[in-house]
A and B are shown apart, each in its own frame.
Chain A
């Protein structure tokens, strides 16, 4: 049901029956390693390319989520997935393996919450009994496509971020126990003219702010309604900008509520510069860490605002600025 200008309220409150997070070696050494279901020590995952490795991450996350819920893939109606690769090959190739009816989505790093929002809408409208929403990214595959070869010796600026190697998946159902998806705010594309692909945080922060403001305006609630409001992958730079921008706009969110998945996933001593990024950043932190805390009863209501930079390697070479988007999904226990 539409509420306000751009927010959906899911009246049946679709249940996240199970969720899974898969990570690579850098995530295994990170701050949230306990919350991953599967951790790999090899970034190749035994495959002969990074792209194939990313596909395996996604397959594993999808399979793990279904195993945890005890639901066979034949019973799942739709698989919604997104990633950062050209033509979203990781998602489509994983869908080939899974053999489920599939909707490929692209919202760059916001794909995780785009998938969860759309999946909840499908379940809420009784168009499916079970929907699997997933997203993935791979550090080396993303570097290869968007920036330089992984072994190339270029110095990264202090605003650069580290793409998370991993995948997250959530299985949504109509009935059952678990955290429930209550509402979602679909973001607008915001472009503040930033064109530096090594400064995604500053590019994406206004999109996150726009969606957060829209969410609270549409639902007429106060930010303190949530225990945690987590942006997807703004990193140190973007988080600071977003937080100051919200304050300037008069929406005060206490520091202990507003956080960022990109700041949580790694340890401070890891060389990730400004923090984590990628589809898997918000996907693994939400589907692993946050949902685990909700199941333990430590968190009651969370709002995940996954942020995405909608650039392509060609668009920035042609001196285009970086259009950004953010989608917010509210999960309550």
Chain B
């Protein structure tokens, strides 16, 4: 907890939180990192296999194969979400299933499925980006800032 938050707490609250913390099970960072590495690595290896398939058996180059590869990974992830398997994998894998593109597909598919009961427009349409929205918002904004920096440096006669 940040120091700012701690300041707002009364001494009794601080004392209790220390008391409670000593009795809570800890998340094992190392164990979670290892699991995330295995799961994330497996997903990326499958992706690599799909790309290899596109370049070997179809008329794709390494660059043009990336789009259909991502599409295949997304379809697999959405299907696993729909069949109710992805969230169970994620409980074990943690960041391993969130970071790859499959995690992004899962956020959209799960929100869309969940809010189907509120209809297509207000439910599915309105909630699909509920979790993935911030990623897009800040992703686009940071891309804009980086592009701006690049243009300024170029304008000043840089690289």
> Which residues does A use to contact B, with CB under 8 Å?
48-51, 144, 148-159, 191-195, 199, 202, 205-206, 236-237, 240-241, 244-245, 248, 271, 274
Contacts and interface: CB of A to CB of B under 8 A. Distances in A.
B20 interface: yes
A58 to B, nearest CB: 18
B44 interface: no
B98 A157 contact: no
Contacts of A154: 87, 90, 98
17 contacts: A149-B131, A150-B110, A151-B109, A152-B114, A153-B87, A153-B91, A153-B106, A155-B91, A155-B95, A158-B26, A159-B25, A192-B20, A193-B8, A193-B9, A193-B14, A236-B25, A237-B25
The 8 residue pairs across chains A and B that have the minimum distance between CB atoms: A153-B90, A149-B114, A49-B117, A151-B110, A193-B13, A158-B25, A149-B110, A155-B94
Interface in B80-107: 81-82, 84, 86-87, 89-95, 97-98, 103, 106-107
Contact of A153 (B8, B32, B86, B130): B86
Nearest to B95: A155
A191 B93 CA distance: 34
Interface in B1-35: 5, 8-10, 12-14, 16-17, 19-20, 23-27, 32
Contacts, number: 101
A144 B130 CA distance: 12
Q: Helix, strand, loop or mixed for chain A's interface?
A: loop
Contact of B19 (A51, A150, A152, A241): A241
Q: Helix, strand, loop or mixed for chain B's interface?
A: helix
Given A192-B13, A193-B13, A153 B98 contact: yes
Contacts of A245: 19
Nearest to A144: B114
B3 to A, nearest CB: 14
Q: Which of B13, B24, B82, B87 has the most CB of A within 10 A?
A: B24
A191 B9 CA distance: 10
B95 to A, nearest CB: 8
A148 B131 contact: yes
Given A156-B91, A192-B17, A193-B17, A151 B113 contact: yes
B59 to A, nearest CB: 34
Nearest to A192: B16
A240 B103 CA distance: 35
B74 interface: no
Nearest to A236: B25
B73 interface: no
Contacts of B10: 193
Nearest to A50: B117
Contact of A206 (B16, B26, B82, B97): B16
